[in-house]
Amino acid sequence: MFNLNNKVALVTGGGSGIGKAIAENLSERGAGVYVLDLQEENGWAVVRGIKDRGYKADFLSCDVADQANVKQVFAEIFEKERRLDILINNAGVSHIGVAETTSEEDFDRIFRINVKGVYNCLHVALPYMKSSGGGSIINMSSVAAILGLPDRFAYSMSKGAVSTMTLSVARDYINDNIRCNGIAPGRVHTPFVDGFLAKNYPGREQEIYDKLAKTQPIGRMARPEEIAKLVLYLCCDEAAFITGSIYPIDGGFISLNT
């Protein structure tokens, strides 16, 4: 089960957190994984860790917001591999603020990375995936696309767009044997969370962490590897009947708060 031998997978934002866990899980199941990230040191560290365990991986620097760069990177991978089976649109950034406190600059930045970045990767990858006979695309959405979260105006906008792009691609490419699904995590304990707490709540990190963790009805944040396991399933043939779905993985956050 969950055999990805001879599959080629691209993971954007694969240098840390959820992306790192996804890259590791896919490689452990036999996929040749390309970690795409702007943080080269982090990306290469993930690749070295995967290779040290005897699995296949490589790193390429990629700015998902720059379509020319995405075209160059994806073409390089396809020229080498002659196929593309899995695309994980995981790269993204967060933002805190309501509509009146969100500057135009901040809004444009969130849109450029979280929305246009996903579009760029879809736009470039889909022809390669069609020529490979099909594949699986996973877009990283959020519970913020489903529920109204306080102080997450621009971020929620971007993840709502990711969810609807997922549905469109699933519909438009179903006859090309391309499945497209989304995942909507709740809070996940990643290095981003630790950095956010250290920057905004110095000396109170544990207090605020515990407060945020308790907003999940299950009583804790998710671990990146838990998100990665769901991604793995959706990428495999065991999930061949699943497309056009957005899966919450949130410790009961949505269902127990509605």
Q: Are 73 and 37 contacting, i.e. CB atoms less than 8 angstroms apart?
A: no
For the chain, the average pLDDT equals 96
Question: Side chain identity at 72, as an amino acid letter?
Answer: Q
Res. 257: pLDDT tops 80: no
Query: What SS3 state is found at 248?
Result: strand
- Quick one: tokens of 213? 């963790």
Q: Decide if 155 is catalytic.
A: yes
Q: Secondary structure of 73-99 in the HEC alphabet?
A: HHHHHHHHHCCCCEEEECCCCCCCECH
Helix (H) or strand (E) holding 128: helix 116-131
What local confidence, expressed as pLDDT, does residue 77 receive? 98
pLDDT at residue 175 tops 90: yes
| pLDDT recorded at residue 10 | 98
Confidence of residue 215 (pLDDT cuts 50, 70, 90): confident
Enumerate residues 6+ apart whose C-beta is below 8 A from 101: none
pLDDT of 192 = 85
User: What is the pairing mode between strands 178-185 and 246-249?
Assistant: parallel
Distance (Å, whole) CA 140 – CA 86: 14
> pLDDT band at 258, cuts 50/70/90?
low
Q: Which CA distances in Å does 216 have to 16, 99, 196, 219, 250?
A: 23, 25, 18, 5, 7
pLDDT digits (tens, 9 = 90+) for 57-93: 999 999 999 999 999 999 999 999 999 999 999 999 9
Distances (CA, A) of 158 to 115, 119, 146: 6, 12, 12
Residue 1 has pLDDT above 90, yes or no: no
Average pLDDT of the segment spanning 108-132: 98
* Percentage of the chain lying above the pLDDT 70 cut: 100
pLDDT, tens digit, for every residue of 176-204? 999 999 999 999 999 889 988 898 899 99
With CA atoms as reference, report the closest residue to 249 among 193, 186, 188: 186
Domain ranges (residues) in the chain: 8-186+223-249, 189-221
Mean pLDDT score, 21-33: 98
Catalytic residue among 34, 55, 128, 155: 155
CATH code given to domain 8-186+223-249: 3.40.50.720
